[in-house]
Structure 1
Amino acid sequence: MDDSTRRYAARDAERWVAEPPKRVDAPERTAYERDRARVVHAAAFRRLAAKTQVHGPQADDFVRNRLTHSLEVAQVARDLSRALGSQPDIAETAALAHDLGHPPFGHNGEHALDALAADCGGFEGNAQTLRLLTRLEAKTVDPRSGRSVGLNLTRATLDACTKYPWTREQGRERATSKFGVYADDAEVFDWLRAGAPGQRRCVEAQIMDLADDVAYSVHDVEDGVVAGRVDLDRLDPDAVWASVRRSYLPAADDDELGAALDRLRSVAGWPATSYDGTRRSLAALKNLTSDLIGLFCGAVQEATFAAGPGPFVRYRADLVVPPETVLEMAVLKGIAAHYVMEADDRVALMARQREVVAELVEVLLEHAPVALDASFAEDWRAAPDDATRLRVVVDQVASLTDASALAWHERLVRQGARGVRTSGWTA
């Protein structure tokens, strides 16, 4: 057992359903190593390969999908966790799991499902991640209730996966639409948060969240450059600043955003010419992404150590993200937002994706449980009311990949009753 693992209490390694050691004749893995393995082997993790990150999974062989993004977030989280002295397996597992709850079509699908799920408490990708880890992903059954408890991860790992440790109502009090738990999952949420100081996030969750921010702020721009949508040598600052304020930092002013862009341009690898697809150009772009990740993580590590000696474990410390780093990452997010997510062709595609999601929910509500996968059909039959049945349908749709959502839509919506009669097949 390494030093970082010894910094955790026995209760941190507890599981909802107690489990004996798996092996008696060989050195036992730590509980947190077992957690990591369970996420890696989960079906929901594999499905991330066919879910949208920014570009659709089939848009290009180079650009990222949710799976490759999660692997990159995990690498950043592990390195930062190790540097700060917390348990790297906990932060890495949280990073690997952080997007499991995303539905088809990324954040666009998430917004569509949230509106459709208004009568059962809404939809949020992070709350759905907790639901997958503690209920929907089949691994362990509670012998007391006979109900699935998902992957049965440790308390510390589940807490690290909880990016927003509050309910929807508490989120509204914090002036955010983000939340981390549905009312239906309150019991396990209360268990994993036992002893937590209010709505404070553990440092491992903070590491996961920062790693996600770092990865997508840098990599979405990289993908946009390679896709021919972003030219870092020819940016329109006014348009980028508008995107930053619209989606990320509403109060940011032009001067501080301009200063942040100037600092980014001073990074040695920032391009002076347009990307041309050659190996030399691609190598320069990859070096730039590495330099930016190092810049952001190094700044956070230095500021965190400057604020206190640690150990940086659970609730004994907080990450410190310098304001300059927040602005620099926001500028990169604004570049990707303006040139990629808000492009006219992208907006039209996203509108059609929302229609697909809405029509799928409608047809599944009409033809459930026969049109549902077996596990969700079982949940439907056990549901006591319409709100719970709606949640089951939302769970089913959220489980689909981009491609399977389109295939289900073709089968159930376009083919109508004939498609329903052939249910049971999953794309």
Structure 2
Amino acid sequence: MDEGHAGKGIANAVYEGIGFGYRPRAPYATDPARTRGRFVPEPESPTRTPFQRDRDRIIHSTAFRRLKHKTQVFIAHEGDHFRTRLTHSIEVAQIARALARALRGDEDLAEAVALVHDFGHTPFGHTGEDALNAKMAAWGGFDHNAQSLRIVTRLERRYAEFDGLNLSWETLEGLVKHNGPLTGANGEGLDGALPATIRAYNELHDLELDRFAGIEAQCAAIADDIAYNTHDIDDGLRAGLLELDMLEDLALPGSILRQVRERYPALDDVRVGHELMRRQITIMVEDVIRAATENLARLRPESAEAVRAAGETIVTFTPAMAVEEKELKAFLYKHLYRHPEVMRVRVNAEKIVCDLFDVYFSDPRAMPEGWREGLDRAEDRIKARHVADFLAGMTDTYAVKEHRRLFDHTPDLS
């Protein structure tokens, strides 16, 4: 995002008094001095807030580094300039910080939730998740959000005194609930069965699954939408699967294209595309700040707890932008995510994931040392979840390498 342009636009066009400099936290912000703590108690840092420590632990984790070689839309080796889960997460974190700053929330918490939100994604993006979910159907399925929680509470093994990263309650809450409550007041899942990983952890460490997350997690959630709605267009244009002219009839990008072409009639298409990206992010960020400010003025929450109890998402698009964003998502789904070339690669990637699951499940000795021990005597439920943990942690490149090691023929992903 062009921060100078965004700051000026917010100050002049949205409402007075909000910029991107330091401002004291609002009463409804999450206060790190009042954190609910960690599952395993630890002494506080003399130099960092709990949320700054969370962010640093996330960045230094193995799971974060693996995001470098995990698919966003296009398989990693298709080109050096396409986004991966890592670059996407960094972009989401930048937007989340900007929103939290403007709304006077805790920027470090918003950044931490943004950086950790994709930890549970499999190789090959949603294709890998769908394949693994099908393979795990008999044992509770596979959900990337639940897998993110599993990674940061169990699978990362870096510390002497605990498994996982031992993140603060607020960061875990944001990770699990950034898209809204997961259960009703009766504890039943709102969108089908609650993933077993989340239910089991919640019994040990209550994340209040029937309530909304704090303002910072809400910033991270909508920052995710802004980032992929914009940057997936950029990657689609770069891949040649989308063309600028295809966007002209869409309300949001179409209006921006007309403005850019009117002002710069001789500008080449590459730079027109870049102008479209930065302007779209700015417009969407300013729209969210406008909508959230109006919601805050209407609800008048006086604490972070009041935000959680508000009964609605506070950090939203305006109704008009929500319509335009929905139109854009539908366009991307039809013309990019379901493009024949993307679907061809998806079929081949799905086969790789399914083949690997089958061979590891039938013979755990095919897995590396450190993963296979004791599985020959384990019940199927435990063995399947263990295999899913191993597979979900793979990068695209490692999954292809493993398939080539174990099979005579590996599907072509190029």
In the other structure, the counterpart of 1:121 is: 140
Q: Return closer, same or farther for 1:94/1:227 CA change in 2, 3 Å cut-off.
A: same
Deviation, 1:324, is 1.9
What is the alpha-carbon distance in structure 1 between the residues aligned to residue 303 and residue 324 of structure 2?
27
CA distances 1:218-238 after superposition (whole Å, capped 9, x unpaired): 10011111222111213596x
1:87-166 to 2 correspondence within 5 Å? 87-140=106-159, 142=161, 148-162=162-176, 163=178, 165-166=181-182
In the other structure, the counterpart of 1:331 is: 327
Q: Return closer, same or farther for 1:311/1:42 CA change in 2, 3 Å cut-off.
A: farther
In the other structure, the counterpart of 2:251 is: 262
What is the alpha-carbon distance in structure 1 between the residues aligned to residue 302 and residue 122 of structure 2?
33
Find the residue that maps to 1:58 and give its secondary structure.
helix
Q: Is residue 2:202 matched to residue 1:189?
A: yes
Find the residue that maps to 1:61 and give its secondary structure.
coil
What is the alpha-carbon distance in structure 1 between the residues aligned to residue 41 and residue 201 of structure 2?
14
| Contact 1:86/1:204 (<8 A) preserved | yes
**Number of residue-to-residue matches in the alignment:** 373
Q: Is residue 2:20 matched to residue 1:4?
A: no
Q: Is residue 2:397 matched to residue 1:398?
A: no
In the other structure, the counterpart of 2:14 is: none
1:385 to 379, 386, 397: 379
Q: Over aligned residue pairs, what C-alpha RMSD do you find? A: 3.2
Q: Return closer, same or farther for 1:232/1:192 CA change in 2, 3 Å cut-off.
A: farther
Q: Is residue 2:101 matched to residue 1:82?
A: yes
* Unaligned 5+ runs, structure 1: 143-147, 238-260, 417-427
In the other structure, the counterpart of 1:28 is: 47
1:231-250 to 2 correspondence within 5 Å? 231-235=243-247
Q: Which moved more, 1:390-399 or 1:226-235?
A: 226-235
CA distances 1:153-207 after superposition (whole Å, capped 9, x unpaired): 0001111111355379x99963x46x7x63245343345544x372433332221
Q: Which moved more, 1:45-54 or 1:5-14?
A: 5-14
What is the alpha-carbon distance in structure 2 between the residues aligned to residue 121 and residue 185 of structure 1?
12
State the structure with bigger RCO (CA 8 A, min sep 6), 1 or 2. Answer: 2
How many percent identity over aligned positions?
A: 34
What is the alpha-carbon distance in structure 2 between the residues aligned to residue 85 and residue 44 of structure 1?
30
Find the residue that maps to 2:42 and give its secondary structure.
coil
Find the residue that maps to 1:267 and give its secondary structure.
helix
1:59-78 to 2 correspondence within 5 Å? 59-78=78-97
What is the alpha-carbon distance in structure 1 between the residues aligned to residue 157 and residue 267 of structure 2?
44
| Contact 1:45/1:100 (<8 A) preserved | yes
Deviation, 1:266, is 2.1
1:220 to 232, 250, 253: 232
Deviation, 1:263, is 4.5
What is the alpha-carbon distance in structure 2 between the residues aligned to residue 172 and residue 7 of structure 1?
27
In the other structure, the counterpart of 1:211 is: 223
What is the alpha-carbon distance in structure 2 between the residues aligned to residue 30 and residue 269 of structure 1?
46
| Contact 1:85/1:311 (<8 A) preserved | no
Q: Is residue 2:269 matched to residue 1:281?
A: yes
Q: Return closer, same or farther for 1:61/1:234 CA change in 2, 3 Å cut-off.
A: same
Q: Return closer, same or farther for 1:234/1:390 CA change in 2, 3 Å cut-off.
A: closer
Q: What TM-score comes out, normalization by structure 2 length?
A: 0.81
Deviation, 1:114, is 0.5
* Unaligned 5+ runs, structure 2: 1-21, 308-313
Deviation, 1:379, is 7.4
What is the alpha-carbon distance in structure 2 between the residues aligned to residue 193 and residue 206 of structure 1?
19
Q: Which moved more, 1:303-312 or 1:288-297?
A: 303-312
| Contact 1:264/1:328 (<8 A) preserved | no
Q: What TM-score comes out, normalization by structure 1 length?
A: 0.78
What is the alpha-carbon distance in structure 2 between the residues aligned to residue 292 and residue 68 of structure 1?
18
What is the alpha-carbon distance in structure 1 between the residues aligned to residue 295 and residue 248 of structure 2?
37
Q: Return closer, same or farther for 1:376/1:204 CA change in 2, 3 Å cut-off.
A: farther
